[in-house]
């Protein structure tokens, strides 16, 4: 067969194409990425880790935490809610009648039933969410129409999905969340829970230390191995334990007269875990923070 060269060239083209597509193109597209701005704010995102937290990422890497933990929250979609915050001068019955009159608009046809249902038993309590939809255009239209009639309503965006329902985050993880991570530790197996927002879920450094030293002392059915080698068991200097000693009790406590103190690596790892939070709204992953939704 004389087509040996042709086949060799075909292999080069095949690998070269995937190299251009999956190595070169992402590097060109994402490599120059800079700080992004938090939605409806002038704050920049993400913050660069400093001090112990940035060293802690290396402890996380060295001990292979990513073998069991992901740092990536997924979402299935978004639910857009239209929330009525003020009726202005009109009454609840007027509002109902007004909304009824909008039902003839063809673009609202898919949601007329849900709106009618949610307003049926409403007695005028505020704030009132009267429309939940996956279609942002319809919600925008509704807010515009209603606000033009003199009442106040606002749009709220709530991402949805099992990861979010577990409280692992408020929105999906996006590229911007990992801008400063060296190396990025996405993980591929959830033998343990996701850690993308562990700094918000467990903001207590002492809890993190206890959990690293003896996971079962704070999570009784945990399957995490302990990381005792990140701690030192030493004799108490005086009658009272030193300030940074872990408050262990029962079967987890060290022998009398001894105390468990974290090493630098343990403190760094805990600081890194506390720095893990990816919960600001971004252009590519919008949501409405709960605080601003209060009337």
Binders of another protein in range 187-246 (CB under 8 A): 187-193, 215, 219, 221-229
Query: Binders of another protein among 162-181, rule CB under 8 A?
Result: 162, 165-166, 172-181
- Which lies closer to another protein via its Cβ, residue 23 or residue 109? 23
- Which lies closer to another protein via its Cβ, residue 65 or residue 142? 65
Nearest distance in Å: CB 201, another protein: 12
Query: Which residue of 37, 38, 54, 74 would you call a contact of another protein, by CB under 8 A?
Result: 74
Over the window 87 to 126, marking each residue x when it contacts another protein by CB under 8 A and - when it does not, the resulting string is ----------------------------------------
Contacts (Cβ under 8 Å, ≥6 apart) of 183: 57, 61
Contacts (Cβ under 8 Å, ≥6 apart) of 224: 68, 192, 211, 215
Instruction: Give the span between the Cα atoms of 163 and 73, in whole angstroms.
Output: 6
Q: Is 258 an interacting residue with respect to another protein (CB under 8 A)? A: no
- Which lies closer to another protein via its Cβ, residue 68 or residue 236? 68
- Under 8 Å between Cβ of 95 and 142: no
Q: Among the candidate windows 14-22, 125-133, 137-145, 149-157, which touches another protein by CB under 8 A?
A: 14-22
Q: Among the candidate windows 59-67, 107-115, 197-205, 247-255, which touches another protein by CB under 8 A?
A: 59-67
Query: Binders of another protein among 21-50, rule CB under 8 A?
Result: 21-23, 26-27, 29-33
- Which lies closer to another protein via its Cβ, residue 92 or residue 174? 174
Query: Which residue of 44, 48, 182, 292 would you call a contact of another protein, by CB under 8 A?
Result: 182
Q: Among the candidate windows 15-23, 115-123, 202-210, 233-241, which touches another protein by CB under 8 A?
A: 15-23
- Which lies closer to another protein via its Cβ, residue 109 or residue 165? 165
Contacts (Cβ under 8 Å, ≥6 apart) of 23: none
Q: Can you say whether residue 89 is alpha, beta or left, with left for phi > 0 and alpha for psi between -120 and 50 degrees?
A: alpha
């Amino acid at each position: 067969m004389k087509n040996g060269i042709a086949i060799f060239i075909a292999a080069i083209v095949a690998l070269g194409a995937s190299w251009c597509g999956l190595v070169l193109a992402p590097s060109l597209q994402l490599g120059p990425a800079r700080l992004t701005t938090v939605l409806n704010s002038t704050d920049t995102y993400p913050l660069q880790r400093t001090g112990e937290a940035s060293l802690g990422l290396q402890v996380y890497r060295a001990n292979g935490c990513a073998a069991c933990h992901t740092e990536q929250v997924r979402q299935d979609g978004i639910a857009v809610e239209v929330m009525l915050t003020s009726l202005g001068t009109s009454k609840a019955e007027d509002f109902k009648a007004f909304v009824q009159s909008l039902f003839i608009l063809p673009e609202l046809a898919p949601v007329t039933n849900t709106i009618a249902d949610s307003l049926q038993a409403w007695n005028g309590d505020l704030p009132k969410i009267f429309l939940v939809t996956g279609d942002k255009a319809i919600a925008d239209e509704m807010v515009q129409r209603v606000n033009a009639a003199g009442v106040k309503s606002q749009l709220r965006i709530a991402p949805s999905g099992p990861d979010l329902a577990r409280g692992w985050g408020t929105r999906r993880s996006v590229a911007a969340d990992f801008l400063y991570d060296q190396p990025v530790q996405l993980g591929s197996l959830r033998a343990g829970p996701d850690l993308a927002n562990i700094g918000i879920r467990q903001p207590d450094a002492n809890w993190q230390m206890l959990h690293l030293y003896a996971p079962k002392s704070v999570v009784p059915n945990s399957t995490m191995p302990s990381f005792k080698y990140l701690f030192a068991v030493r004799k108490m200097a005086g009658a009272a334990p030193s300030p940074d000693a872990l408050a262990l009790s029962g079967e987890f406590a060290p022998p009398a007269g001894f105390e468990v103190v974290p090493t630098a690596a343990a403190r760094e790892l805990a600081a890194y875990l506390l720095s893990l939070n990816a919960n600001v709204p971004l252009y590519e992953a919008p949501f409405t923070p709960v605080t601003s939704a209060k009337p």
